[in-house]
Structure 1
Amino acid sequence: MAPDMPIPALRLYIVTFNCGLLPINTEAFASQLFSGLTSSKLPDVLVLSLQEIAPIPQSLIGGSFLIPFFERIYHAVQKGARKVSNATDGPPIYSPVSTRNLGLTGIMVFTKRPEAISDIETASVGVGMAEMGNKGAVGVRFTYQDSGSSTELTFVAAHLAAMESEVRRRNEDWENIVRGLVFSSTTAESKQNARAISDEGLPLLSISPRDASIFKPTSHLFLAGDLNYRTSKLAPAPSDHNDSFPQPYHSPLSPNHFSNLFKDDQLNQERLAGRTCHGLTEAAVTFPPTYKYSIKEPFLTSDEDLAHWNWAQHRWPSWCDRILYLDIPSWLSRVEPQAKLITHKYSALPLQPTSDHRPVSLEVSVPLVPIPSPDDEDGDDPRVNPPFDININWKRQRDRARILEIIVGFSMYFTTTWEGGGVLIAMIAGAVGSYFAFRAMLDV
């Protein structure tokens, strides 16, 4: 590319949201989904990182049990896009590229130009109990091409261990994600699997482990999710809620202003110390904590219009919901000095009526140029030297955990839900009826 020619850019919008184990309110989510944009121009690619997408039984079972929850989000995307573009009807603005889940964590990728996307790969790993998907990560990787220019993108949706004191466990979860999130090709099935959920892809047997890693040398990387890092290792004292929790009326000079809490942000501390999210960077956090709110009015209201934040009293307000990324690698900067990853806006969206988390969004422009293979001198980049090696037993462990998810999921479904209880009673009644019918035939 000539030095005086501007580099084309891909406009990308990422939103992470902990759904709170409930189906989203479609109208509410649609009304705020794109409020993190800097203009009314819709992005080329929309990526949704979702945690606690449904009740635990349905999430662990997956498949058709999750379709109603994903469908609500799909319709919210279309409604929100029409609102921004002032279109009342017509065909959907966004096409789903990939919809995947690993237990309670899901990812949805949408684009205005599905023909621009190719070489889709997916990955998933559980880091919860017995490596099940009550916590874990799911990823999607693909190539985006437009007007002869292309770039490769990797997106990871993650949900790490909860509770204030579990900093080391969260760091271990990150390590297990890096070791176990091994990407698999779905290119041959991309159309039929655009809305598929839960299924594993085909193992990448023909490429090097490094190219199957989360840190692929020729790919951009974005990590979004409920990473659960807090602003304290201890729960708040009873008096802290009134004395220390931030409110919208606190000025930046007040010791109670929310920015003061960020000094104790665990993610920032652990990341800068090299114990988690290795090599990843984050735009400046200028928005209030995203967790934990009491689920009560007012909802869907911007911080500028709020007089009070309804914090839950038993958790310190924290920035649990985050979006991080790898910056442009040095070897790309040497051959394309104009290639810049530009963050336009990093913000928290208004509180939704179904969750104690606020969604977080990132609007960013990615240079539409391929990342070449690195030189040996770039060893400090995690794309070249990942912090952890791939777990060679990742596939066996995922298969074993998937069996446990099915067993636990159906056990909980039959014993903890009205719908599942009704099915179980019907099955028992059918079995008893069949038994007596069979006995009656034998007595004839």
Structure 2
Amino acid sequence: MVGVFISVWMNRKVLQKWRVSNVRVCSVACGVMGYLGNKGSVAVSMSIEGTSLCFVAAHLASGEKKGDEGRRNHQVAEIFRRTCFPRNTTKDDYDINNHHHPLTILGHDRIFWFGDLNYRLYLEDKHARNLIRKQDWKGLHEFDQLQKELEEGGVFEGWKEGNIEFAPTYKYSSSISNRYCGGGLHTKSGEKQRTPAWCDRILWYGKGIEQLHYTRSEITFSDHRPVSALFTTHIEINSSATPLLQLHKFQPTLLHPTHGVNKEDEDGNPTLLSLLTKDVQAC
């Protein structure tokens, strides 16, 4: 895939104590001509004891013209339709209760979908910026395309998203700027006019999931700002005598690197690799 990456990390103690099995990966390209990898998804499927989990990172169609939300909806439908986790002919494909490992995204018990979903606002640029200046996130969210689609069942029917209480994540003038593109006297020559929007989102589906935290970070890798969420969920243990395992600190984070990631950039800002290295060292 072009620019879509997913990494699932697990605490060593979980791996030592509980059975993790049926790890599968599937990518779906649905960009140019419906099949190129500039847009699409990468999904990871796994089971922890008796609970199946699926993590989906996606990059959907861009654009803020009327009707562009329909292209995004279509790509979501294609990702659901074309994502498949084939079974191997091994006993790992079955738990002790002879349950099959899920073949599709919606077959899983717990699902987390995140990425640059690119949904915009049904609002003129000047009105959107006025609400942003007032930090009226609730008022701005009333015009959010993804929220409308969720309410009307156009896409992600039955899925959930936490309250958005942070500024739109896109589009910034540059990777080191705190100014949105366009919209005023300070617009640079040749700069694209884009209405700010919450393009970067985290959704979930399934029972027994509670979101504890949902926010954006001020990391200036690109013209987006990354978002992160913290969840707690329960895992069904195969032995009925064993209590439920509660997993804490599941935190999907969206980053949008646009330049080198091997070290800190020229301005001393941390890159993706340096942040991942720091996380590993802290474990």
How many residues are treated as equivalent by the alignment?
214
Q: CA deviation at 1:241?
A: 8.8
Q: CA deviation at 1:348?
A: 0.8
Paired residues of 1:153 and 1:221 also in contact (CA < 8 A): yes
Judging changes above 3 Å, is the alpha-carbon distance between structure 1 residues 243 and 183 closer, same or farther for their aligned structure 2 residues?
closer
Q: CA deviation at 1:272?
A: 1.3
| Structure 2 partner of 1:289 | 168
Q: Residues of 1 paired with 2:160 and 2:150: CA distance?
A: 9
Judging changes above 3 Å, is the alpha-carbon distance between structure 1 residues 324 and 137 closer, same or farther for their aligned structure 2 residues?
same
Structure 2 gaps, min length 5: 91-98, 183-192, 239-283
Judging changes above 3 Å, is the alpha-carbon distance between structure 1 residues 161 and 370 closer, same or farther for their aligned structure 2 residues?
farther
Paired residues for 1:298-309 under 5 Å: 309=178
Paired residues for 1:93-112 under 5 Å: 102-112=1-11
In the alignment, structure 1 residue 123 sits paired with structure 2 residue 26: yes
| Structure 1 partner of 2:145 | 266
Q: CA deviation at 1:151?
A: 2.2
Judging changes above 3 Å, is the alpha-carbon distance between structure 1 residues 347 and 359 closer, same or farther for their aligned structure 2 residues?
same
**Which residue of 174, 178, 181 maps to 2:80?**
178
AA aligned to 1:350 is E
Q: CA deviation at 1:104?
A: 2.3
Structure 1 vs Structure 2: percent identity of aligned residues? 33
Q: Deviations over 1:192-225 (max 9, x none)?
A: xxxxxxxxxxxxxxx98x9311101x52111101
Q: Residues of 1 paired with 2:28 and 2:129: CA distance?
A: 41
Secondary structure of the corresponding residue to residue 246 of structure 1: helix
| Structure 2 partner of 1:348 | 216
Higher-Rg member (1/2): 1
Secondary structure of the corresponding residue to residue 140 of structure 1: strand
Paired residues for 1:59-98 under 5 Å: none
Paired residues of 2:128 and 2:140 also in contact (CA < 8 A): no
Q: TM-score, normalised by structure 2?
A: 0.68
| Structure 1 partner of 2:109 | 219
Q: Residues of 2 paired with 1:108 and 1:185: CA distance?
A: 22
Structure having the larger proportion of residues in helix: 1
AA aligned to 2:48 is Y
Q: Residues of 2 paired with 1:241 and 1:294: CA distance?
A: 19
Q: CA deviation at 1:107?
A: 0.8
Structure 1 gaps, min length 5: 1-101, 189-206, 299-308, 329-339, 372-444
After TM superposition, which residue ranges in structure 1, 4 or more long, deviate above 6 angstroms? none
Q: Residues of 2 paired with 1:269 and 1:224: CA distance?
A: 18
| Structure 1 partner of 2:180 | 311
Secondary structure of the corresponding residue to residue 113 of structure 2: strand
**Which residue of 152, 158, 173 maps to 2:58?**
158
Q: Residues of 2 paired with 1:316 and 1:213: CA distance?
A: 35
| Structure 2 partner of 1:358 | 225
Q: Residues of 2 paired with 1:370 and 1:316: CA distance?
A: 47
Q: TM-score, normalised by structure 1?
A: 0.44
Paired residues for 1:414-429 under 5 Å: none
AA aligned to 1:347 is T
AA aligned to 2:9 is F
| Structure 2 partner of 1:305 | none
Judging changes above 3 Å, is the alpha-carbon distance between structure 1 residues 121 and 187 closer, same or farther for their aligned structure 2 residues?
farther
In the alignment, structure 1 residue 231 sits paired with structure 2 residue 126: no
Paired residues of 2:214 and 2:229 also in contact (CA < 8 A): yes
Paired residues of 2:131 and 2:139 also in contact (CA < 8 A): no
Q: Residues of 1 paired with 2:113 and 2:209: CA distance?
A: 15
Paired residues for 1:235-250 under 5 Å: 236=125, 240=126, 244=130, 246-247=132-133, 250=134
RMSD: 2.9
Q: Residues of 2 paired with 1:182 and 1:341: CA distance?
A: 23
AA aligned to 1:109 is V
